[in-house]
A = this chain, B = another copy of it.
Amino acid sequence: MEIKEITLNELDTEKFISEKGQEISSLVGEGLSINALSGGVDSAVVTMLCHRALGDRLKTYFIDTGLMREKEPEHIVSLFKDMGVPVELIDAQKTFFDALKGQTDPEKKREAITRSFYKDVFGKLVRDTGARYLLQGTNFTDIEETVAGIKRQHNILEQLGIDPEQSYGYRVIEPLIQLRKSAIRKLGKSLGLPEELYNRPPFPGPALAARVIGEVTPERVKLVRNATTIVEEELSQSKAFQYLAILHEDRVTGIRDGKRDYGFQIEIRCWESTDAKIGSPTRLSYDILDRLAERITTEVPGVVSVTYNITKKPPSTIEAI
């Protein structure tokens, strides 16, 4: 089946909300549907769109992987609570860190996170609640990238530990599949989401694990989380497309109180881009770069060195892993 894009200009948000809502409601009927909210634009919009259509026939979970930004799980749940949308917070940190233990290969790390998320945690919730409908924030770019072979196509039911043969009746609903990110942001605004949600910068699926080179441990995630907080505070006014901090596995020599300190290095990336397909480093002022280096080496324990990435995409990618 070919999927036809609804462009930003074509999108009539009120009409879309009303028609898509009726479609979802009649599909789900008296059944129970379930979705996972990550705080990203796509899942936030799915949550609000489907909450409006389904009310308490929708159960929304926020899975705390231990890989989120500072106070992010509680903050997102509280934002939705304020809008009258109940979200259950699931602490799954141990499951994720156990799965990541000893893994240093980027692909193995991604697999461990995907498996923990879909099979071990969300899959169990799906099976336990007896939900028959899974709502996913898949968008038009995801579909394009699957066709282009950039991302692997996921068989969502298999990932959830559900055997399609034995589990007749499960259904995945992807209400945003005809929209690109810009149209989804417009829809989010129209749905009454706060700007920090509908204009949220892109954040990788594996969350902060994508920003730890080498093994992902609670200690190393804590370091990159601290650095991320600083980078986001300092660059939120930059109007850049995306900005991030990466913890390297390599250690470098530094000096503290006149003594050698073999410490950590943090890499900062800040991107000018419209669609993430190509990008170039933001020309941040050296005053800002100085301040970033100063804060990170002072506030993040053990960091003695900070770099700024100066490579375009391609040949770089937005994230390091």
Contacts and interface: CB of A to CB of B under 8 A. Distances in A.
Contacts of A281: 286, 289
Contacts of A312: 290, 293-294
A304 interface: yes
Interface stretch (A130-138, A173-181, A313-321): A313-321
A15 interface: no
A297 interface: yes
Interface in A272-321: 280-281, 283, 286, 289-290, 292-294, 297, 304-317, 319-321
Chain A contact-residue range equals 35 or more
Contacts of A321: 252-253
Contacts of A260: 150
A240 interface: no
Q: Could you say which of A256, A267, A312 has the most chain B C-beta atoms within 10 Å of its C-beta?
A: A267
A308 B305 contact: no
Contacts of A1: none
B310 A213 contact: no
A148 B311 CA distance: 40
A128 B5 CA distance: 80
Within the oligomer, what is the number of copies of this chain? 2
Contacts of A16: none
A214 interface: yes
B310 A290 contact: yes
B311 A297 contact: yes
Nearest to A248: B250
Contact of A308 (B252, B310, B319): B310
B283 A310 contact: no
